[in-house]
Chain A
């Protein structure tokens, strides 16, 4: 297995092997799991196999995270440059891009050409959407890089779930505004994921559009032009999705609606758990503090990190957005989630349970120490939460 050598400032020579090197292939293969269900359906004729990817994502993944546990290993800083330059890692993010096209077209072919019960048709569309949600994750990793190739691949893969604005919205909007009440992609304490989705999905699109409009105005170009990067990606989405409707008929319309919404929902779920309740404070001049490591929730659960290109090491990502996935680090004493993202998504879908687990965890963080004034609280829940935690006097004082 490939290793990296470096010499520390002390003169000590070190040798490092990335034990996760080959396991990153899971991030490439994971989006292809709908084909596992299709293959078993084709072999057995039993449509229930089409539900298998749902079971893998919502049952097996949280259990595997629980069983396999956490990995706190970091690559030594002295080898990070070599690790970043190792083309193998970026090659994985490149090849997963066409696989997302293969995935959607393949599943659409099966949904469009087989006589399926209504429930298995919906399940196939949902499974395709969840896989394309992983495409947003791939677009996320690629879109943070400086190279033209990686940025172009980001736009191409984001076209699969018709979410091309994400590249602009996330890099230029979310990273700038994260963990502030103004950020539509940072969830507030007391805000259910369902309420959050209605704020996040349109809010993120509006912010992306505004950022791109302002850029085009500076360039003296109209917003409705071929230079509009959001429209470029959406055009590709239109070609892909209209092509599927032409190829497989009108039943592709409900299929694609379910697919798109489910893909967006994956991103909404990730955004919801990544910054829930966390708040960057303002100084006396009303200036928001710089994003710190404690402004993101993290998970070191190994299985879900390996299928998500290390997305769950989120604090390091926000501190250093261009850092490549293989080099993202664990730090001690960060806000940490009790399971990987897939398990946390399930918890988020039952808001009462989510609040029960996460609100205590949020208030117990060192930098918050129970003080609701240091939490991003949903304004409509503010009075109730301050009363619940015995801090009503702060509201009256404020």
Chain B
């Protein structure tokens, strides 16, 4: 399980935790997120912009 961070606002998508408010249960792989996934906090960085922590 890995973590991926938004380079703009430091939001972290932790695959182990998922993001339940956004509808991504624990264990959701970052790669399985929709291609148009935008950072849930700032919305100005997208899936391809996220950096593996």
Nearest residue (CB) in A for B40 is A172
Closest to B22 in A: A215
Interfacial residues of chain B within 4-51, with CB under 8 A of chain A in the complex: 8-9, 11, 20-24, 38, 40-44
Residues of chain B lying within 8 A (CB to CB) of residue A217: 23
CB within 8 A of A321: which of B22, B24, B44? B44
- Chain B residues positioned under 8 Å from A171 (CB to CB): 43
A175: chain B residues within 8 A (beta carbon): 42-44
Interface string of A216-232 (1 = CB under 8 A from B): 11111000000000000
Set of chain A residues within 8 Å of B42, measured between Cβ atoms: 175, 320-322
Q: B41 and A146: CB pair below 8 A?
A: yes
In the complex, what distance in Å separates the CA atom of A218 from the CA atom of B9?
A: 24
A-B contacts counted at CB < 8 A amount to 40
* Distance of A303 Cα from B6 Cα, bound (Å): 35
Residue numbers in B under 8 Å from A291 (CB-CB):
44
Given contacts A172-B43, A322-B41, is CB(A218)–CB(B22) below 8 Å? yes
Answer whether residue A17 sits at the interface, using C-beta atoms and an 8 A cutoff: no
Q: A290-B44, A318-B44, A320-B8 are in contact. Are A172 and B23 (CB under 8 A)?
A: no
Cα(A361)–Cα(B43), bound, Å:
29
**Given known A172-B38, A175-B43, contact A322–B23 (CB-CB < 8 A):** no
The dominant DSSP class at the A interface is helix
Q: Which residue of A lies closest to B28 (CB)?
A: A218
- Residues in B whose Cβ lies below 8 Å from that of A320: 8-9, 42
The answer to whether A215 and B23 have CB atoms under 8 Å apart is yes
User: Would you call A21 an interface residue if the criterion is a C-beta within 8 Å of the partner chain's C-beta atoms?
Assistant: no
Assess the B20–A176 pair: CB atoms within 8 A. Answer: no
Contact between chains at B44 and A176 (CB < 8 Å): yes
Tell me the complex Cα distance, A319–B7, Å: 12
Contact A176 B23, CB 8 Å, known A320-B8, A321-B9: no
A-chain residues with CB within 8 Å of residue B11 when the two chains form the complex: 146
Bound-complex Cα distance A176 to B36 (A) = 10
Q: Which residue of A lies closest to B38 (CB)?
A: A176
Q: Are B43 and A322 in contact (CB under 8 A)?
A: no
Tell me which residues from 174 to 233 in chain A have a Cβ below 8 Å from any Cβ of chain B.
175-176, 215-220
Residues in B with CB closer than 8 Å to A215 are: 21-23
Interchain nearest-CB distance for B42 vs A (Å): 5
Q: How far is the CA of A217 from the CA of B11 in the complex (A)?
A: 22
Using CB atoms, name the residue of chain A closest to B19.
A218
6 A-B interface contacts by CB (under 8 A) = A171-B43, A172-B38, A176-B43, A218-B23, A291-B44, A321-B9
Q: A320-B42, A321-B43 are in contact. List 15 more A-B contacts (CB 8 A).
A: A146-B11, A146-B41, A172-B40, A176-B43, A217-B23, A218-B24, A219-B20, A219-B23, A290-B44, A291-B44, A318-B44, A321-B44, A322-B9, A322-B41, A322-B42
Interface residues of B (CB under 8 A from A): 8-9, 11, 20-24, 38, 40-44
